[in-house]
Amino acid sequence: MKGALLLFSSVSILLPGVGSCPKKCLCHPSSNSVDCGGQGLSTVPPDLPPWTLTLLLQDNQIHWLPALAFRAVPRLNTLNLSNNSLSNLASEAFYGLRHLEVLNLTQNSLLSLESSLAHALPGLRELDLSSNSLSLLPTSLGKPWENLTVFSMQRNRLLHLDRALLEAMPKVRLVLLQDNPWKCDCHLLGLKLWLERFTFEGGVTDGAICRLPEPWKGKDLLSIPHELYQPCPPPSPDLAPLLVQQPGSTAGEVHRPSESDSGWQDPPECEAKPKPKPVNLRNAVATVVVTGVVCGIVCLMMLAAAVYGCTYAAITAGCHGRPLAPAGDSEKMGSKEPTHTVPQPEDLRAKVLDRRGLQEMSEWA
């Protein structure tokens, strides 16, 4: 009996934190979950049980997450940080959570998203960033987010969304984009083309409803013909000073000046311009013009050939109207026909008689 008590005390001394539970939290070892929701916490509890798979930190007052904020729970599978006051995430805040699959960051005050999130959470399947203040997202994640299937960006301040960001999520099947002030100009053409392919392949989305410009206000981005959008020209050197990098954003991301309650102001090259003809229509017109010119040339050649043929036929017919030598005589004379016929004696005699008769008739008269 004394030996058993000694062994138990030794194990308790060696593993003091195995059975501990943070203050103001409820630990459930049977389900490997820890509930710290609604406790007024301003930081992540440092003494979380290492067996934790589900951590609930919603409805607290956590303002920011430091680097390696969850190093005590490396096996974490589900993390709920909704309805806090998060406005900034350290670039390494989620490092070490390679098994995390569900991350809920709704109802916070996040202004931007780090591209390193994909590197820190390679196993993530569901990411919910709804009801934040996001106006900028990274244009690229640097590498594919192989396992992400749900991506929610509802109720933010997004005007545009780069197509490359979504293309880095090859397995995503649900994309939620509603309740953003989408500006349906040339910058949103890439998103429209991606959504068309995404829905054609069986993906589900709630659609991006345009708020600007005024002609498209309230319309679904997918319902606007893509011929109305043309790729944006590169920014001119005069606009370069306006594109400054935002502090804390990743390389390649820029911050544009904002308008009052309406988002970014369009650079001059994105102002309303006359609708150009689609490329396929221009090609068709060019083909018709070239075909018409070729057909015209052929018709002129045929007309010239017809005139020449008629003229030649007329000349030939005039030549054939002259008396020709008998075939027998021409064969006797050789290969060429005589130019005129030689009068025969009988013909001369007949002509003389005719003249004498005429003379006699005139004398008698």
Neighbours of 97 (CB within 10 A): 24
- Report the C-alpha gap between 165 and 208 in whole angstroms: 16
Residue 109, Cβ density class (10 Å: 0-12 exposed, 13-18 middle, ≥19 buried): middle
- Report the C-alpha gap between 123 and 128 in whole angstroms: 15
Give the chain's radius of gyration (CA, Å). Answer: 47
- Report the C-alpha gap between 98 and 117 in whole angstroms: 11
- Please give the pLDDT value at position 16: 40
* Residue pLDDT tens, the chain, 365 long: 344 434 433 433 334 445 589 988 999 999 999 999 999 999 999 899 999 999 999 999 999 898 999 999 999 999 999 999 998 887 789 999 999 999 999 999 999 888 888 889 999 999 999 999 999 888 888 789 999 999 999 999 999 999 999 999 999 999 999 999 999 988 898 999 999 999 999 999 998 999 988 888 999 999 988 777 666 777 665 544 444 444 444 444 444 444 434 333 444 444 444 445 454 555 666 777 888 888 888 888 888 888 888 887 778 777 655 554 444 444 444 444 444 444 555 555 555 455 555 555 555 44
pTM, 2 dp: 0.61
* 316-339 confidence digits (pLDDT tens): 777 655 554 444 444 444 444 444
The one-letter amino acid code at 133 reads: S
* 186-202 confidence digits (pLDDT tens): 889 899 999 999 999 99
- Report the C-alpha gap between 166 and 150 in whole angstroms: 11
End-to-end CA separation in angstroms for the chain = 186
* 81-93 confidence digits (pLDDT tens): 999 999 888 778 9
Reduced to 3 states, what is the DSSP secondary structure of residue 220?
strand
